[in-house]
């Protein structure tokens, strides 16, 4: 009984870095606090495999959803979520015109939608995000430690398409100190 309790306690207090190292996925996260807001860049370091390429070329709508959380570290209790945002990227291959329809949304609002004939541009739309202004009106306490945590999920999810990751497919985080 004591060993189970100890194991549960260790799991609860294990820092996110150890959890990420155990997952094997690389989701690079870079926060940039600037002018009272936090700009967030992140990139899913996943190669475009033949299985993923086949899923995209099947004509299905492929969607990657990223949940981005701004959190405040706490030594005495659980870390507190200050703000969160959901970023989604989609790719749909048109087999007739051989073009990729790409789009990104932020909290349900369309950021952009376009078409491209280039596979690498479409893959970059799903995996590479630069300086997103996700936390504009979030008051931050000066000289406090924060971190940005990003989790990724892919769809569709069925047995015909095997994604190279599972559950919360990939997770990454980066710490920063807000200086004013």
Q: Is residue 7 part of a domain?
A: no
Task: Give me the domain span that covers residue 53.
Answer: 16-178
pLDDT level of residue 79 (50, 70, 90 thresholds): confident
Q: Is residue 153 part of a domain?
A: yes
Nearest-angstrom CA–CA distance, 99 and 115: 6
Q: Is residue 126 part of a domain?
A: yes
Q: Is residue 11 part of a domain?
A: no
Percent residues over pLDDT 90 in the chain: 54
Q: Is residue 85 part of a domain?
A: yes
Q: Is residue 109 part of a domain?
A: yes
Q: Is residue 9 part of a domain?
A: no
Reply yes or no on whether the pLDDT at 5 is more than 50: no
Nearest-angstrom CA–CA distance, 71 and 146: 6
The 10s digit of each residue's pLDDT in 34-75 is 877 889 999 999 888 898 899 999 999 999 999 999 999 877
Specify the number of domains making up the chain.
1
Q: Is residue 3 part of a domain?
A: no
Distances (CA, A) of 6 to 3, 10, 56, 75: 5, 6, 45, 18
């Amino acid at each position: 009984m004591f060993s189970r309790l100890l194991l549960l306690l260790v799991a609860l207090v294990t820092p996110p870095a150890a959890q990420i190292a155990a997952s094997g996925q690389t989701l690079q996260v870079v926060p940039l606090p600037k002018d009272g807001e936090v700009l967030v860049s992140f990139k899913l370091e996943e190669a475009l495999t033949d299985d993923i390429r086949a899923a995209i070329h099947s004509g299905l709508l492929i969607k990657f959803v990223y949940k981005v959380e701004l959190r405040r570290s706490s030594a005495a209790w659980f870390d507190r979520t200050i703000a969160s945002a959901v970023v989604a990227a989609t790719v749909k291959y048109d087999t007739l015109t051989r073009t990729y329809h790409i789009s990104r949304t932020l909290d349900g609002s369309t950021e952009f939608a376009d078409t491209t004939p280039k596979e690498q541009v479409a893959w970059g739309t799903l995996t590479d995000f630069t300086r997103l202004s996700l936390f504009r009106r979030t008051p931050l306490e000066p000289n406090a430690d924060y971190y940005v945590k990003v989790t990724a999920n892919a769809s569709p999810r069925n047995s015909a398409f095997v994604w190279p990751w599972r559950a919360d497919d990939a997770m990454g985080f980066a710490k920063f100190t807000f200086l004013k």
